[in-house]
Amino acid sequence: MNSSQASAATPQPLAAAPLPAPVRERDGQWLLIAGGVLLGTIGVFVEEAGQHPLVTVWFRCAFGALALLAWCLATGRGRELLLQGRARWVACATGVLMVMNWAMFFAAIPRTSIAVATVVFHIQPIWVIVIGALFLREAVAPAQWLATLAALGGLVLTTGLVDGAAAGASHGGDYVAGVLLCLGGSLCYAGVTLLANTQKAISPYAMAMWQCLVGTVALAWAPWVLGWPPLGAAWGWLLGLGVLHTGLAYVVLFAGMARLGLGRIAVLQFVYPLTAVLVDWAVYGRTLSAVQLAGVALMAAALWTLRRPAKAAARTG
């Protein structure tokens, strides 16, 4: 799910068995934290698999579809997958955009770093607001525009292009290409969000499953043309991307969101990029500069402000 993910659908609250409010909230918080921590490790699986981004996306889609199918059979949710008319076309279109999003995100990680790519990817809510205001004539309050500008300022600082931190991370042109790829991926994910919001009758599970199926079919050629992973550890990392970061992560996130209000969800969404920053440091020893960390903090504060209104529903990547 960019993070990528983060993630494959635009989850909406799901129905859950009645529980006392404090228990529901406690369980929901832990589920959302667990899902965010899990998604924050996506970059390690991508780097360790060491495959072409399109091959990596295909395996994530294929293994993810199998994992979600297993959950479908276990919970009897098969009817949700039977889409008709416009809903089917919307699901297919979001699938194409999600495949593009994952491919660009995975290609950006080795060019920048797990931390930078994940944080830059989370600028996605800004594009939703801008596109909504410019093309869908949605009203945007002055405070939201101010938060948008602050988030973009934080984005610029986070890239490391301002203080020269990017120079030591990769070759200049390659690093800039990675940042641009991640911005492109976040734009694709914004399109997923906007399209999904036009078909609220499609359940989060059905959207995720259709996206994985579209990716599996559309990229079926990739391993044949770009090369299959060698037998060994690479297959395990790719299996993890599908089963853990697509199947398990989305099931956990859906369950958590069903138990919490939108305000709490918005705050806990930042567990994902925070985990990615910490994982990049713990596993690969890559740290962000003080200026980059200030940019991350500015982005987080601005995006938290933007996600508080009910219409800015929580997303995963």
The model's pLDDT over 192-217, given as tens digits with 9 standing for 90+, comes to 888 887 877 888 888 889 999 999 99
Selection from 167-176, 180-189, 284-293 with the highest mean pLDDT:
180-189
- Reported as a single tens digit per residue, the pLDDT across 120-131 is 888 887 888 888
Residue 202 domain-assigned (yes or no): yes
**Which has the higher per-residue pLDDT, 308 or 137?**
137
| Mean pLDDT for the stretch of residues 36-54 | 93
What's the pLDDT score for residue 310?
38
- Reported as a single tens digit per residue, the pLDDT across 223-250 is 999 999 999 999 999 999 999 998 888 8
CA angle 204, 102, 91 (to 5 degrees): 35
3-class secondary-structure state, position 124:
helix
Residue 8 domain-assigned (yes or no): no
Question: What's the whole-number average pLDDT of the chain?
Answer: 81
The percent of residues in the chain predicted with pLDDT above 90, rounded, is: 31
Helix pair 21-39, 249-257: axis angle to 10 deg:
150
Nearest to 168 by CA among 112, 116, 109: 112
**Which has the higher per-residue pLDDT, 53 or 26?**
53
Q: Catalogue the E-assigned strands of the chain.
A: none
What residues make up the domain containing 33?
Answer: 28-307
Residue 314, pLDDT above cutoff 60? no
Residue 315 domain-assigned (yes or no): no
CA angle 202, 208, 212 (to 5 degrees): 130
| Mean pLDDT for the stretch of residues 262-266 | 62
**Which has the higher per-residue pLDDT, 185 or 269?**
185
Q: Which of 141-145, 175-179, 228-232 has the lowest mean pLDDT?
A: 141-145
Residue 270 domain-assigned (yes or no): yes
Residue 21 domain-assigned (yes or no): no
What's the pLDDT score for residue 80?
83
Residue with the two structure tokens 């969000």: 193
Instruction: Confirm if 116 and 158 have CB atoms less than 8 A apart.
Output: yes
pTM score of the predicted model:
0.83
**Which has the higher per-residue pLDDT, 135 or 278?**
278
Instruction: Confirm if 257 and 313 have CB atoms less than 8 A apart.
Output: no
What's the pLDDT score for residue 215?
95
What's the pLDDT score for residue 138?
74
| Mean pLDDT for the stretch of residues 69-80 | 86
Number of domains in the chain: 1
**Amino acid, res. 220:** A
Strand partners, 5: 3
Residue 187 domain-assigned (yes or no): yes
Residue 16 domain-assigned (yes or no): no
The percent of residues in the chain predicted with pLDDT above 70, rounded, is: 82
Residue 84 domain-assigned (yes or no): yes
**Which has the higher per-residue pLDDT, 75 or 165?**
75
Nearest to 39 by CA among 289, 313, 195, 246: 246
* CA 94 – CA 87 distance, rounded (Å): 11
Residue 75, pLDDT above cutoff 50? yes
